[in-house]
Chains A and B, each alone.
Chain A
Amino acid sequence: MLAFDFFGSTEGGLFDINATLPLMAIQVVALTYILNSLFFKPVGNVVEKREKFVSNNIMDAKNKLSEVEKLEADLLSQLQSARSEAQKIVSEAENESDKLYKEALELANNEANASKEKARLEIENQTSSARDQLFKQADDLSELIVNRLILEK
């Protein structure tokens, strides 16, 4: 047995190149086609379909999310404007009521002042007329006293 006779013999040897080479090449090419139709294409289809599905779903979700965010922002701005409007209305109403209150107060004050004045004038008039009357009566009385004194003499 020539166990390690690599090159020496024409039969066999490690580097014995023969028709095995082209046949093996053909076999590998055939295997490529077989594996392509049996393995690479079907698995690729399934995997790529799923990848597309997943990426579509992700995109869908992203779109929805952005829509939701837009709506949220919309609602927020609406809420903000409603709030500020309410604030405005409240402050307007406050101003209005303030104004009305002031007006009413002034009116009442004026009225009170006027009636006070009127009453004062009346009191003054009555006082003066009463004083006049009193003076007159005093005069009359004094005249009467004088007359009586004179007459008794």
Chain B
Amino acid sequence: MFLNSLPTNFAALEVGQHLYWQIGNIRLHGQVFLTSWILLGALLVFISLGTKKMENDPKGLQNLLEFLWDYIRDLARTQIGEKVYRDWMPFIGTLFLFVFVSNWGGALIPWRLIKLPSGELGAPTADINTTIALALLVSLSYFYAGLSNKGWRYFEYYVHPTPIMLPFKILEDFTKPLSLSFRLFGNILADELVVGVLVFLVPLVLPIPVMFLGLFTSAIQALIFATLAAYYIGEAVEEHH
């Protein structure tokens, strides 16, 4: 590739390098798990602190958590509908929190300072495995939601409003996880790359607006992912008349 003709230390970006963990026959991307454990650990500590002493008059962290809960409930309720949103709220909320914490954690924490033998730490959502895992969970969820709510009548959705829609609806089942996973993966990776390249080229000041833009994108992507997941579930449980 022509890019290889650039100065060799351009490779400091280390795109597509992974810290491999070998467990028996299977190989894992260690850096993804390391960062996700750190971030999720922080999230869980944060949440445990906030819910430790629940009071009727919320204060401090509890207030923030209640705001978050309300936000997620509104998201789930508007997309899934009044009837079954309760069942899916934890899942939607977990998706939102996981993606949000991963994106922001990847953007805010200076992981580069921690040297790994191979690859580098970063947002777990910048790894295609994570985003595909999330997207497939969403696919399973909306199938499960549709089947458990409507039984075999769920498949009426495929010929609604006319049977002409059948091939498109089947195609949709493939494009939904594809678009979900690649949108998230692409946005977060692109953000990391842009910031990485800018930091590499102009280490001072110039990357800061781009970093803020990255934070914005990260938050938006978390919202988009959770909203779309909720929308797909809502679409599956919706009653056609």
Could you tell me the distance between the alpha carbons of A40 and B97 in the complex, rounded to whole angstroms?
Answer: 12
Could you tell me the distance between the alpha carbons of A46 and B55 in the complex, rounded to whole angstroms?
Answer: 8
Could you tell me the distance between the alpha carbons of A27 and B119 in the complex, rounded to whole angstroms?
Answer: 22
Could you tell me the distance between the alpha carbons of A108 and B138 in the complex, rounded to whole angstroms?
Answer: 111
Chain A residues with CB under 8 A of B44? 34, 38
Chain B residues with CB under 8 A of A19? 26-28
Q: Are A32 and B26 in contact (CB-based, < 8 A)?
A: no
Interface of B (DSSP majority class): helix
Q: Count the B residues whose beta carbon is within 8 Å of the partner chain — how many?
A: 56
Q: Say yes or no: is B187 at the interface (Cβ < 8 Å to chain A).
A: no
Q: Are B32 and A20 in contact (CB-based, < 8 A)?
A: yes
Q: How large is the interface on A (under 10, 10 to 19, 20 to 34, 35 or more residues)?
A: 35 or more
Give the nearest-CB partner of B70 in chain A. Answer: A47
Q: Say yes or no: is B168 at the interface (Cβ < 8 Å to chain A).
A: no
Chain B residues with CB under 8 A of A49? 56
B194 to chain A, nearest CB (A): 15
Question: Which residues of A in the span 10-67 have a Cβ within 8 Å of any Cβ on B?
Answer: 11-25, 27-29, 31-36, 38-40, 42-44, 46-47, 49-50, 53
A12-B16, A14-B15 known; A32 vs B90 contact (CB < 8 Å): yes
A1-B11, A20-B29 known; A35 vs B17 contact (CB < 8 Å): no
Chain B: residues with CB nearer than 8 A to chain A? 1, 3-4, 8, 10-11, 13-18, 20, 26-29, 32-33, 36, 40, 44, 47-48, 51, 54-56, 58, 62, 65-66, 69-70, 72-73, 89-91, 93-95, 97-98, 119, 124, 127-130, 132-134, 136-137, 189
Chain A: residues with CB nearer than 8 A to chain B? 1-6, 11-25, 27-29, 31-36, 38-40, 42-44, 46-47, 49-50, 53
Please list the 9 inter-chain residue pairs (A to B) with the smallest Cβ-Cβ separation, ordered nearest first. A1-B11, A20-B129, A19-B26, A25-B133, A36-B90, A24-B133, A3-B11, A32-B94, A21-B129
